[in-house]
Chain A
Amino acid sequence: DAGVIQSPRHEVTEMGQEVTLRCKPISGHDYLFWYRQTMMRGLELLIYFNNNVPIDDSGMPEDRFSAKMPNASFSTLKIQPSEPRDSAVYFCASSLGLGTHNEQFFGPGTRLTVL
């Protein structure tokens, strides 16, 4: 398996533009997670899905952020409109789900820069 795939790897945009980050989880994994990492706040969980359904979006910073999972093999994280403070590395992760061994496999991340 190729692991968790994220695209693009780097994104530079201007304030006010819409940004869409994409993630393909590992085949067969039921859970998908979106994280954001900054120097100031570290690694934060934004939202996670189980079987394509959002379970907990309490980490989503505000209404400008939205995430969807239209099928088991694809998810998007959208920021509209983007702001400079959204600059961060966004990671997607997937896992098999509940149980004592809940290893999350992380993708390589998307480095977002909002000018």
Chain B
Amino acid sequence: DAKTTQPPSMDCAEGRAANLPCNHSTISGNEYVYWYRQIHSQGPQYIIHGLKNNETNEMASLIITEDRKSSTLILPHATLRDTAVYYCIVRVVDTDKLIFGTGTRLQVFP
């Protein structure tokens, strides 16, 4: 079973920051937080991952709370093409399995 909890849906205005929360209160010390997204009719796409420090790449930023029980994915300037289902996943570092939950459906509107 997925070890994360996400809101089922969110809206965001184009050009604004989209902040997607994820709760992983039972995360263990050797588990990473991964984010993937799935644009309609396509396969999931990797976005970013982190252990305990905040991370940033060309797509997004990941903010992990100090107790690691929750995190937030930030899309700094959302575009219409960011409309997708966003999955927050907890993965044990020495396993290869990703257990997808139900995700958050982000709708970016003009």
Contacts and interface: CB of A to CB of B under 8 A. Distances in A.
* A joins B in a complex: yes
Interface of A: 4, 31, 33, 42-45, 48, 50, 55-56, 91, 93, 95, 97-98, 100-109
A5 to B, nearest CB: 12
Interface residues of B, number: 22
Contacts of A98: 94, 96
Contacts of B68: none
B98 interface: yes
Contacts of B93: 100
B102 A42 contact: yes
B45 interface: yes
B97 A91 contact: no
- The 6 A-B pairs of least Cβ separation, nearest first, read A106-B43, A43-B100, A103-B46, A91-B43, A106-B44, A107-B43
Contacts of B97: 45, 48, 56
Nearest to A97: B96
A104 B44 CA distance: 9
B27 interface: no
A88 to B, nearest CB: 13
A45 B46 contact: no
Nearest to B34: A102
Nearest to B49: A101
B101 interface: yes
Interface in B78-94: 87, 91, 93-94
B99 interface: yes
B98 A100 contact: no
B101 A45 contact: no
A108 B42 contact: yes
A105 B76 CA distance: 24
A109 B43 contact: yes
A45 B45 contact: no
A31 B102 contact: no
A106 B49 CA distance: 17
Contacts of A105: 46
